[in-house]
Amino acid sequence: MTTMLLACAMLGSTAVWAVDPSVQQLRIGFQKSSINFAVAKQQKLYEKEFPNAKISWNEFPAGPQILEALAVGSIDVGVTGDTPPVYAQAANKPLYYIAYEAAKPLASAILVPKDSKLSQLSDLKGKRIGLQKGSSAHYLLVQAVRKAGLQWTDIQPIWLTPADARAAFQKGAIDAWAIWDPYFASAQLEDQAKILVSGQGLSPNYTFYLASTSFVKQHPQAVKGIIQQINTADKWVQANRSATAQLIGQSTGLKPNVSQVFIDRRPRPSAAAPLTAKVIADQQQLANRFAELKIIPKPINIKLAVWTGK
């Protein structure tokens, strides 16, 4: 812990903050997978960035709940996987993609119990698969079903939050579980869950930072400051990986070995950057696939929800 505190002190003494005095409050939605936000919260980076603002942190079980909060105006900024913003945009909920983190396909998987006889994707036919509706795991499962040569109607999706899915998985109430880290790492290490397939070749599994349209329009400079501090946090994470595992364990209740696997599966670095043409194209592919399957009610244009920094 001493190393972590020393690094925090050094960070605070050398950082240059691009202060936006117009921001009076910043309400952030995060989840257990939000490592950079966890570090920013612990180190009070946004209190330094916005000294006149009241900073509040709101934890949610998954991305869909974060974007629902964004849509009703109870948070200003949130972090999710790839699928929640597609759902939100298709439902005409206002949002902006403000940044993304590098793809991490190995950080999500479809898991089966340690004694399961399921060994290939085609074995999912007729099986009960737990997942959070509208989450990144939803797209992973859609892609896996497609790769297996099955139809979506060939499986039985069981819509569960990560915590409820974990309980169902442990009881044998579901045959498989589509999930992301750190729940993935926890089940893998603590339940000896087997990986039926990871996201490799199926879903890039981007992390996205989203903001309300009203916040972006009122505080465009502040958005840049938010991204800057995500990257300040990530630089610290890359230089202090074992301390980060300890911090994540303390903030989430995860065991240290689970936190370490979770962190090790993330790309190095995992900084936030403006969306590239490839990232937008990958998101558009996701949206098109969901529209084809009528999972979302209509086709959407991802570019219309991407903040350009102007």
Contact between 62 and 182 (Cβ < 8 Å) = no
Query: What pLDDT, in 10s, does the model give residues 98-149?
Result: 999 999 999 999 999 999 999 999 999 999 999 999 999 999 999 999 999 9
78 CB neighbour count, 10 Å cutoff: 29
pLDDT 10s digits, 71-86: 999 999 999 999 999 9
- Quickly tell me which residue has 């190095």 as its tokens: 268
44: left (phi over 0), alpha (psi -120 to 50) or beta: left
Length in residues, the chain: 310
Nearest to 144 by CA among 163, 164, 129, 159: 129
Predicted confidence at residue 5, as pLDDT, reads: 39
- pLDDT at residue 182 in the model: 92
Distance between CA atoms of 85 and 305, rounded to whole angstroms? 9
Domains plus CATH for the chain? 2-104+206-305 (3.40.190.10), 105-198 (3.40.190.10)
3-state SS class at 215: helix
